[in-house]
Structure 1
Amino acid sequence: MNDVLTFSIQPDWHEIARINDQTQAFLRQTDLPETAIDTYTMVICELLENSIKYGSEGETIDVSVTITEADISIQVDNAVNSNTRPHLAELDRTLQWIRGVQDPYQAYLERIREISREPLNMARSCLGLVRIAYEGRANIDFILDDNDRLSVSALAPLNRAPLNRQPEVPL
């Protein structure tokens, strides 16, 4: 098995539903279990949503999904500009924090607890990245190239099943 899906979209929130459908159709062709299809569709959509939210307006977003016997790799590339650069420091801090927590489940619980204590008008939750690490069992990384293109990737081994349940969160 070595299946690849690539596409480019404009940063438009209306594209998410179409991409969700397109991604599910592609993943179904790979004979992944239904829970894996749902999980990796979520991973792709979470990364796309972040690209739309924090990327440069009007700049194309490129997506690549590669499935091998061993893993699934999802990469989303978008342009950044001076207005969106401050979010890169937050992205880096969030990914460092996720990596520093031994169990992605614990990171998930901790972030939900933090969100529950924050005012409702907070603009960012960073929960999507934690969901990718926990539910998708994915390692997340990013690179900013010399042309101000941000590549965020999620790599998940296919030998461990993704989680298809939400944890109970004691508040």
Structure 2
Amino acid sequence: MSLVTSEAVDTNALELTLPPDWAAVKAVWEPCRSMLEEAGLGPDEAYAISMVAQELLENAVKYGAFGPGEAVRIRVRVERDDVTVEVASRLGVDDAHLRVFDRTVQWIRSFQDPFEAYVERLKQVSSEPYAHGKSGLGLTRIAYEGRCVLDFYVDSGNTLAVSAVYRREGETA
């Protein structure tokens, strides 16, 4: 049985549906990185955006609510001026995670530079005991290390879709 199923779109996009488990999340790194490099991104950009995809997938698996047969969807799309990573997963009945997620995204946006948010979050993490596998660094890593703008929406089917948009620079853009 395959961990990941792919839908052919074009050479500048990758769409995958995967079960909500850690092995499947890890299996996405290489197809994502390869597609990004084939679409013309340099190795450093491809690595950073693959990290973004990995972080978003990990959050979906960690905080999503999945019934039998439900999956996580990821779409990575390379355009001339930007790259968008979108991960969609089912929300649980308790929306406490969504409220924390929303507050975190708004908190990151409140900083002039994502580096400032990253440093502040590192200070917070280092001053508290590590508990329950939650450092809260994932989203700030996406904003700072991945140089992405975060956004999200919840549809009528209670699916959370989180997007990270990377603005391309240089001659390739």
Report the alpha carbon displacement of residue 120 of structure 1 after superposing the two structures with TM. 2.2
1:144 aligns with 154
Aligned partner (choices 108, 113, 122) of residue 103 of structure 1: 113
Report the alpha carbon displacement of residue 72 of structure 1 after superposing the two structures with TM. 0.3
1:31 aligns with 40
Report the alpha carbon displacement of residue 57 of structure 1 after superposing the two structures with TM. 2.7
Unaligned stretches of 5+ in structure 2? 1-9
C-alpha separation in 2, matches of 1:82 and 1:34: 40
Report the alpha carbon displacement of residue 2 of structure 1 after superposing the two structures with TM. 7.5
Q: What TM-score comes out, normalization by structure 2 length?
A: 0.87
Q: For this pair of structures, how many residues does the alignment match?
A: 159
Unaligned stretches of 5+ in structure 1? 161-171
C-alpha separation in 1, matches of 2:18 and 2:79: 24
C-alpha separation in 1, matches of 2:127 and 2:22: 28
C-alpha separation in 1, matches of 2:130 and 2:108: 23
C-alpha separation in 2, matches of 1:42 and 1:114: 22
2:3 aligns with none
Report the alpha carbon displacement of residue 159 of structure 1 after superposing the two structures with TM. 1.2
* 1:134-170 C-alpha deviation (Å, 9 max, x unpaired): 111111011011110000000110117xxxxxxxxxx
| CA RMSD in angstroms, aligned pairs only | 1.6
1:19 aligns with 28
Report the alpha carbon displacement of residue 25 of structure 1 after superposing the two structures with TM. 1.6
Q: Sequence identity of aligned pairs in percent?
A: 36
Report the alpha carbon displacement of residue 99 of structure 1 after superposing the two structures with TM. 0.3
2:61 aligns with 52
Report the alpha carbon displacement of residue 22 of structure 1 after superposing the two structures with TM. 1.3
Please give the secondary structure, in 2, of the residue aligned with 1:66.
strand
Q: What TM-score comes out, normalization by structure 1 length?
A: 0.88
